[in-house]
Amino acid sequence: MSEERETRLYMISPRSMLTPDQLVRMVHAFGDKALVKETCYGCLVEAPRSENLAILAKVREEYPNEVFSKIRAYRCSDPRRCRAQHGTRPGFAQLEEEWALLAKIQYGLDQVEKGAKYKPLDDKKRLDVNAFKKICEVQ
């Protein structure tokens, strides 16, 4: 199981000063068997699962809250999903949107590390009908 191919996508938070190039160099330094492909948002890393997990641990150690990762179903440059073959696939827009969210998640992770706790928020309630009536009357 641990030797099974795993392709992992690393994405750098927009709040980070890290560049894809720096990330790629770091990954190269740790992964002998890894195929690393630099992308505009970070990199793709293809390696046996055990090695990928070791790389992930190192990335977390070096850049704990500014690099995010998930697995990718397709191998690097798989023509079935390659942008050059057909144009962008639907998941591309999703990655773009999630990339923007990473800035907030990075901030969240930093604050939680500093001890921030979960505070249940009051659900937004609809305006009471009598209060609304009063507003209308004032107008």
Partner 1 sequence: MTIKIAQLSCGTEYSSVQYEIEKAARSVGATIVYPDVSAADIDKAVADFGFKPRSPQLKLMIARAEALASGRYEADAVFITTCFRCAEAALVRNELRRYIQEHTNLPVVTYSFTERLKASQLLTRMEALVTIVTRKELLARERQTGLTVGLDSGSSTTKAVVMENNKIIGKDWTPSGAVVIESATQVLNNALEQAGVTLDQIEAIGTTGYGRFTLGEHFKAKLVQEELTVNSKGAVWLANRQKGEATIIDIGGMDNKAITVRDGIPDNFTMGGICAGASGRFLQMTSNRLKIDITELGKLADKGDWRNAKMNSYCSVFGIQDLVTTLGEGKKFEDVACAACHSVAEQVYEQQLQEIDVRHPIIQVGGTSLISGLVTQIGEVLGEQPIVPPDSQYIGAVGGALLSSGFL
Partner 2 sequence: MKIFIDPPNSLVLFDLVERFGHEPLSTMAAIQERVDNLEVDMPPMNVTLDDVVKGLKYAGIEVPSGVRGRLALWGPLIEEADAAIVMEDCPYSFGCVGCERSNLMVKYLIHRRGIPTLMVKYPETDEEAVNFVAQAKEWMEGLK
- Binding residues for partner 1 (CB under 8 A): 86-90, 93-94, 96-97
In angstroms, the CA 24 to CA 125 distance is: 48
User: Residue 11, interface with partner 2 (CB under 8 A)?
Assistant: yes
Where does residue 8 fall: left (phi above 0), alpha (psi -120 to 50 degrees), or beta otherwise?
Answer: beta
Instruction: Choose from partner 2, partner 1, none: what does 119 bind? Cβ within 5-8 Å by kind.
Output: partner 2
93 belongs to the binding site for partner 2 (CB under 8 A) = yes
Residue whose token pair is 């150690």: 61
- 87 interacts with, out of partner 1, partner 2, none, CB within 5 to 8 A per kind: partner 1
**Euclidean distance between CA atoms 120 and 102, whole angstroms:** 22
Q: Which does 30 bind (CB under 5 to 8 A by kind): partner 2, partner 1, none?
A: none
Q: Which stretch binds partner 2 (CB under 8 A): 20-28, 30-38, 104-112, 126-134?
A: 104-112
Q: Which one of partner 2, partner 1, none is in contact with 132 (Cβ closer than 5 to 8 A by kind)?
A: none
Work out which of 25, 104, 133, 134 binds partner 2, going by CB under 8 A.
104
Q: Does 72 help bind partner 2 (rule: CB under 8 A)? A: yes
Asked if 98 is part of the footprint of partner 2 (rule: CB under 8 A), the reply reads yes
10 burial via Cβ count (<10 Å: 0-12, 13-18, 19+) = buried
E strands present in the chain: 5-12, 35-38, 42-48, 67-72
Cβ contact 68:13 at 8 Å: yes
